[in-house]
Structure 1
Amino acid sequence: MRRSDRLSEIIEIVQDGRLHLARDIAEKLEVSVRTIYRDFDTLVASGVPIDGERGVGYMLREPVFLPPMNLSLTELEALHLGMAIVSEAADTELQRAAAALTKKIDKVATAKGTAPKSWGFGVYPFAQAKIGFEHMPCIRTAIRNSEKLEISYRSLNNKTSTRIVWPLQNAYWGRVWTLTCWCEKRNDFRSFRIDCVTYCHRSGTHFDDEDGKLFSRYLEKVEAEMAQKPNQSS
């Protein structure tokens, strides 16, 4: 079993929210206990919310359970296409998640357990989007934990600056990923292209949700600016 597949299997095992011993998982996956310890260290470092320690056991801190639902064939195809895109246009952690989710979808795609003939999509490589993928796990973990980031950024006119930012959201625009954040240097919201980030480090300092610096406030600001544009051109 490939390591990426084993990591997905481990996440699926602890998905029930119960405490699992490393030796039981090692026996099930036919690997050593030490290998399972290293796998859990990798998952935790990647931002997967797992609690536990060696000799005690591990459990998923925030298990996700979806209620049973019926999806149309078109809805399933849309979901499958999304997973195909994520497998090309996201970092390693999300690629593993996309592969695991696709596998689960394929198992229950139809009542007979077989995928429709129209299943599967070809997605062209997202070369530009892949630049900066090394920073994505760090950024997404910081967003989850409300942790400030120190970044170095090279602008499109090749000027480099170092900033402390409050990461709020990642967005994918079909070609590049951007990070929306509160920038302490500019004392304002900023969006940075992640492929232009040359250095990214979690500072260890957390930020609180302050009025005026929330992502919802950023959206309000964008809407207000867009509403003013027709008046400016008239």
Structure 2
Amino acid sequence: MVRSKRLLSLIDILSKPEKFNARELAVKLGVSERTIFRDINTLREEGAQIEYSKDKGFILSSGWRLPPVMFTQGELEVISLGLQWVSIHTDNSLKKKAQHAMAKINAALSPDQKKNITNSCLIIAPKDKAKVPIELDSLRSAIDQEIKVFLTYVDLNGNVTNRIIWPFAIAYYENVSLVIAWCEKRQDFRNFRTDRFLKIEYCKQKYPNSKLGLHQLWLQKIIQLESSDKN
């Protein structure tokens, strides 16, 4: 059995009410117990909350797995296109997540569906090799935790400035990524190009607003500016 399919089968088994130990899982999937433990660790690394009890065996926490969803061929092509874009234009962490997501989707597709996606007319243009994506995994974690960031930054005029920002979103473009944040120095929202970062430090202090609240305020300001331009 292909490993990606085996992992999906393992998730299916662990999602059921009855519980199994490593030996029973190995028999069901036709592999060794060592392989089962390795697969369990892989799923845990992907975020699955799998616990083990001597009495009940392996237990998958409820709510981790999404319910089955049926996609049309056109929808599958769009999903594949989006995952291709992430794989090409973002950093290694998101690239790996996109590749893992595509592997899970491919494992559930029929041979004809896989062929149609492979031969799809929707493609992503090659990336400029000179543009190397900056790793933003730690920054995304800071946004999730809603903590302040100390940033040493080069502005458009070449001036080096130090800022404390409250990051709440990252915008990905073909050749650049922008961090959208509240800037304590300017007391306003600002966009910061990641390729102009000189140094970034993560503070322990949480910012007073939530990332969702900042996002909403930022959207309101965008709408106000657009309305002013029209008038």
Match of 1:168 in 2: 168
Match of 2:64 in 1: 63
* 1:28 and 2:35 aligned: yes
Q: Is the 8 A contact 2:142 2:202 kept in 1?
A: yes
Match of 2:127 in 1: 125
Alignment of 1:76-225 (within 5 A): 76-110=76-110, 114-116=114-116, 118-119=119-120, 121-127=123-129, 130-132=132-134, 134=135, 136-209=136-209, 214-225=214-225
- Per-residue deviation, 1:197: 1.3
Normalised by the length of structure 2, the TM-score is 0.70
Residues of 1 paired with 2:84 and 2:130: CA distance? 17
Report the count of equivalent residues: 209
Q: Is the 8 A contact 1:128 1:175 kept in 2?
A: no
- Per-residue deviation, 1:51: 7.6
- Per-residue deviation, 1:122: 5.0
What SS does structure 2 have at the residue aligned with 1:130?
coil
Q: Deviations over 1:145-203 (max 9, x none)?
A: 11111111111221111111111111113331111111111111111111111212211
Match of 1:21 in 2: none
- Per-residue deviation, 1:66: 4.1
Q: Is the 8 A contact 1:89 1:126 kept in 2?
A: no
- CA 1:30–1:108: 2 relative to 1, 3 Å: closer
Q: Is the 8 A contact 1:148 1:202 kept in 2?
A: yes
Query: Partner amino acid for 2:66?
Result: F
Percent same amino acid at aligned positions? Answer: 23
Q: Is the 8 A contact 2:90 2:133 kept in 1?
A: no
Q: Is the 8 A contact 1:149 1:164 kept in 2?
A: yes
- CA 1:125–1:190: 2 relative to 1, 3 Å: same
If you compute each CA radius of gyration, which structure gives the higher value, 1 or 2? 2
Normalised by the length of structure 1, the TM-score is 0.69
- Per-residue deviation, 1:228: 0.5
Q: Deviations over 1:96-123 (max 9, x none)?
A: 1111111122222347664315247353
Match of 2:54 in 1: none
Q: Deviations over 1:36-88 (max 9, x none)?
A: 69xx8xx6xxxx76889xxxx9988983514423x222211111111111111
Structure 2: stretches of 5+ with no match in the other structure: 16-24, 26-32, 51-57
Query: Partner amino acid for 2:98?
Result: A
Residues of 1 paired with 2:102 and 2:201: CA distance? 32
Residues of 2 paired with 1:144 and 1:93: CA distance? 15
- CA 1:126–1:65: 2 relative to 1, 3 Å: farther
